[in-house]
Amino acid sequence: MTQAPNQETNILGKFTSVLGLLGAALFFAGWIYRWSYFYFFQLELNTLDLPAQSFLIVPLQIFLGDGWTICKTAIAFFVAAIAIQATLWLIKIISDTVVSASQSLVSRIIFATQRRRSWIAKQLKSLAEFGSGQLRSVDFLRSLVNEIVIVSWVLIVIFWLARWQGIADARRDAGQNSTLPVVALITPEEKFAVGRKLDDIFADPSLKGYRIIGDRGLFEDLRGREDSDSNLKPPRVWRLLLERGGWIYLFRALPPNAKSNELPSVLAIQESEKGHIIIRSPEVSKTTSP
């Protein structure tokens, strides 16, 4: 009668430990995914101040996003299981060889110093006996090493799955098949050095009072191309990446023929005190640009 509560407590403790490890693994996967995703857009994740709980939801997309993702996850963990077994097998062979050689050496030292009474012989015998006692803790160390190996391989698999998915999703969102909304941002011109005038779209805004540090060519590449235009070949489309911490992040979508190492330029706009208007749309409007 006294064993039932102990068994229930033990099961509950193991279940709590599993939940804790699972939560840590999911958070790690979510952090790596978002780090890879925003790194593609050249943004530092720590500066975006994203809520911590959101990192626990992202892994559902990493591991269960679609059929191919589920298959990829299953294959990755199957390969990890094989790698874990192979690593543990190699460690066992190496540890058994080391232990056997150590025991043989200790036995020889003890036998050689057993009948000698010099101070050096006594110290060598004491050291050998101490080493013999330490060898009894090999089983504990082997168990610890086994756990480290298992955790390490699982983290490696999670890291690469999250990283690959983050880069793949970022590349998709930066291109023509993006899931991010097309955006129209309308803001007062007093604190805005770029953008088209609504009443005269061909006129550039005045740059009087503005200063620049850095690559002027980046600004010139943007100036005159701030509006989306689906009539161009390839079309020019501006999308909304993120709104966070008083900043609005926009980028111009990559063309269909973009190189594999080509990254989009991101425009960070500080929210205006006088207010602004953001219009979101899943696709570019059909209205012809003037």
118, pLDDT greater than 70 = no
* Best CA proximity match to 44, nearest among 59, 53, 34: 34
Residue 241 falls inside a structural domain? yes
* Structural domain total, the chain: 2
pLDDT of res. 196? 76
pLDDT of res. 2? 47
Say yes or no: 161 and 268 in one domain. no
Say yes or no: 87 and 56 in one domain. yes
pLDDT of res. 238? 87
Say yes or no: 195 and 242 in one domain. yes
pLDDT of res. 105? 58
- Buried/exposed code over 16-47 (b: 16+ C-beta within 10 A; e: otherwise): eeeeeeeeeebbbbbbbbbbbbbbbbebebee
Say yes or no: 169 and 242 in one domain. no
Say yes or no: 168 and 206 in one domain. no
pLDDT of res. 156? 92
Residue 243 falls inside a structural domain? yes
Burial class (CB in 10 A: 0-12, 13-18, 19+), 76: middle
Residue 191 falls inside a structural domain? yes
pLDDT of res. 256? 82
pLDDT of res. 40? 92
Which of 223-227, 241-245, 249-253, 255-259 bottoms out in mean pLDDT, i.e. has the lowest?
223-227
Say yes or no: 35 and 75 in one domain. yes
Give the residue numbers spanning the domain of 115: 16-174
User: What does the DSSP 8-state code read for residue 264?
Assistant: -
Instruction: Please tell me the chain's helix, strand, coil percentages from 3-state DSSP, rounded to the nearest 5.
Output: 55, 10, 35
Say yes or no: 235 and 94 in one domain. no
Both structure tokens of 13: 């403790």
Domain ends where: 131, 156, 174? 174
9, pLDDT greater than 80 = no
Q: Which residues contact 271 (CB under 8 A, 6 or more apart)?
A: 246, 247, 248
Dihedral sign computed on CA atoms, order 222, 227, 229, 235: positive
**Which residues face 239 on adjacent strands?**
182, 251
Convert the pLDDT of each residue in 36-80 to its tens digit. 999 999 888 888 888 888 888 888 888 887 788 889 889 988 999
Say yes or no: 145 and 52 in one domain. yes
Residue 218 falls inside a structural domain? yes
Average pLDDT value for the chain: 77
Domain ends where: 148, 174, 200? 174
261, pLDDT greater than 70 = yes
Q: What totals of helices (H) and strands (E) does the chain contain, helices first?
A: 6, 5
What does pTM read for this prediction?
0.76
Both structure tokens of 277: 């208007």
User: Could you give the CA distance from residue 58 to residue 162 in angstroms, rounded to a whole number?
Assistant: 10
Say yes or no: 140 and 256 in one domain. no
Say yes or no: 153 and 190 in one domain. no
Convert the pLDDT of each residue in 74-101 to its tens digit. 998 899 999 988 988 887 787 767 666 6
Instruction: For the sheet with 277-281, list strands across it.
Output: 266-270, 247-252, 238-244, 182-186, 277-281
Residue 47 falls inside a structural domain? yes
Residue 194 falls inside a structural domain? yes
Domain ends where: 139, 174, 209? 174
**Strand extents, DSSP E, the chain:** 182-186, 238-244, 247-252, 266-270, 277-281
Convert the pLDDT of each residue in 163-180 to its tens digit. 999 999 999 999 888 889
Say yes or no: 52 and 160 in one domain. yes
Q: Which helix (H) or strand (E) holds 93?
A: helix 67-113
pLDDT of res. 275? 67
Say yes or no: 267 and 214 in one domain. yes
